Amino acid sequence: MTAKPMATQSFTLTGGTVIDPASGLAGRADLTVSDGIIQQRAPAAECRLIGETIDATDRLIAPGLVDIHVHLREPGQTHKETIASGTRAAVAGGFTSVCCMSNTTPPIDSPDRVAQLIGRIRQPAVCAVYPLGAATVGHGQEQLTDFSGLLAAGCVAITDDAFPLQSTDLKRQALLQAADAGCVFIAHPEDKSISADGIINEGPVSAKLRLPGLSRAATTRAVADWLKLRDCGARLHLAHISTRQEAELIAAAIPQWQGRLTMETAPHYLCVTQDAVLKFGADAKVNPPLRTADDTAAITAAVRSDTINIIATDHAPHSPAEKSAALTEAPFGLVGLETSLAVMAEVLAPQTPEDWMWLLGKFTAAPAALLGLPAGKLTVGGPADITIINPAAAWTVEPDRFHTMGRSTPFAGCILHTSVTDTIVAGKFVFRDAHLLA
């Protein structure tokens, strides 16, 4: 699913370090682009310059980033975000492809609604947008949708995100149908009988604020339930893993699933704890909730060991008015498209081109391969979706300057040291010299 057609540009990127995890390249090379296609990728001495010559010295030239977990809110919730504002935020963060979650109003639960969404995407989007289909009709968590019909209409996977399946029997049916349809099922592991009316992580902060706690058992029991279903033959992807126990359960199960089990986490689960609620209030209210320092250490270790090989933002914007409500009333959700890469670089501190290739693989080749997207690599003859990164540029996170309509982030005021300077979609600059062109 592509953004609206863009005018042809021809240019050569010179002097940069090309990082292409899909092919294993991490070194100096030039790229030439015309007609929306990468025409050459070669050492400078062998590259024939075409069009505008752009000096990328001291920059990393990477595939456009891919985010498989984004809430664009349109249709029906455009006071929170729109396709236009969400994709502008995406390219400002270096993302050229995003997958939009199905919990819109109405939900993306039928082929007709997929077609309507694709029609809405076509004009305002400034990057590629791929729909995810809802697992149940009306998000009712009772009747499964027609997975094959949703995929034929243009969805790239099926998910129960925000409306998690509860019964083991329905989970089994969903995985059997996903196996028949040949698609990935993206599960939101949460046992609602345990999470109930929880607000933030159950622990000393919830006790201090006298708020209902969200027990880690709500996610760990749900993960354990999903992991029992390996005999269904489906590919299962578990979203927003946030606790040590979840990561350990999944790591132990991966060999038994024989390549059909993956998981993702979001940057905030590596480095922000429940204490952020004391400073940011509802701007740090998210589901699953921010956890403990032991959990952030465990999730970071799981990313470092490649047990978790996909980073997704779970970008979930709400209006500032909604987030200004009391903690008990404010909705769950943080924004992340514009800070994700920089936060991960801050936590994992890549130094060498090889370090960057490893980190960027979690944002490019791995998510693209999981869902079979035509993205996440720098291939001669392939689409020119490119992100240019300054790996040594300090900037301060100022939510009021975000392109997203959401403002809720626990990183407000943080100084980060990696920035996206340019984003190229289908061969055209849409974000250049840190300014939005679209």
To the query of whether residue 30 is one of the catalytic residues in this protein, the response is no
Cβ pair 158, 35 in contact under 8 A: no
Amino acid letter, 293: A
**Between 244-257 and 217-227, two packed helices, what is the crossing angle to 10 degrees?**
0
User: Rounded to an integer, what distance in angstroms lies between the CA atom of residue 438 and that of residue 433?
Assistant: 13
Q: Could you give phi then psi for residue 272, rounded to 5 degrees? A: -120, 130
Radius of gyration of the chain (CA): 21
400, two tokens? 């009021």
Q: Which candidate in 30, 191, 314, 422 is catalytic?
A: 314
**Which residues are tagged catalytic?**
314
